[in-house]
Amino acid sequence: MQSKLRTIIYLFFCMACVLLIHSCKKKPATGTDRQLYKMAKDTTGFIWYKFSDTLLPKSPGSAHKLPFIKTRFNSIAASRLTVYGKVRKGASFDEGSLIVKEMCDKNGAIKVYTMLYKKTGATDADENGWIWNAVSADGNVEISAAKKGKDCISCHQQEDNIDNILMNKYFP
């Protein structure tokens, strides 16, 4: 009987530890991450890829884990879209361009914002001037801009990217 009790206490202890570790993993976005998150949340002036906010099933090329996506371009980035709302071939995005991919769950609720922001020379920018990051819908860092796209760039520079952008390739 006593050993059963001990087992139960032990199991509770383990569960508490797991919960604690899990909650510690949440890191509220600060600095560049917070700035981009706020810019991404204010949808004013953004244009949807192909002018459509329909949920798209994520492509097989995507490493991102949620099932649906929607991608939009701020007014500066949107100047590189064609009359069909796709990225112009050979385009290079201007300073201040912000491209946001909303990653959504199966009900279409936004879970994570992934962002690409052109700010050449910024501390967090890569050598092409892009800042890469991902922040959860409730404002916690998933991938910090400070990593300078370490987890992102090699995939985004695959064949047929346009200034690192992949929507055209996977959603032609």
Whole-angstrom distance, CA of residue 87 vs CA of residue 51:
12
Q: Is residue 151 within the footprint of ligand HEC (CB under 6 A)?
A: yes
Q: Is residue 61 within the footprint of ligand HEC (CB under 6 A)?
A: yes
Which stretch, 2-10, 78-86, 120-128, 150-158, contacts ligand HEC (CB under 6 A)?
150-158
- 21 vs 63 by CB, closer to ligand HEC: 63
Q: Is residue 105 within the footprint of ligand HEC (CB under 6 A)?
A: no
Whole-angstrom distance, CA of residue 57 vs CA of residue 105:
10
Whole-angstrom distance, CA of residue 116 vs CA of residue 170:
17
Question: Closest approach of Cβ 124 to ligand HEC, in Å?
Answer: 12
Whole-angstrom distance, CA of residue 95 vs CA of residue 125:
12
Q: Residue holding tokens 């202890």?
A: 13
Residues 6+ apart with CB under 8 A from 170: 59, 61, 62
Burial class (CB in 10 A: 0-12, 13-18, 19+), 80: buried
Q: Is residue 156 within the footprint of ligand HEC (CB under 6 A)?
A: yes
Which stretch, 14-22, 38-46, 88-96, 164-172, contacts ligand HEC (CB under 6 A)?
164-172
Q: Is residue 34 within the footprint of ligand HEC (CB under 6 A)?
A: no
Q: Is residue 86 within the footprint of ligand HEC (CB under 6 A)?
A: no
Which chain residues interact with ligand HEC by CB under 6 A? Answer: 58-59, 61-64, 69, 71, 99, 101, 114-116, 132-134, 143, 151-152, 155-156, 165-167, 170
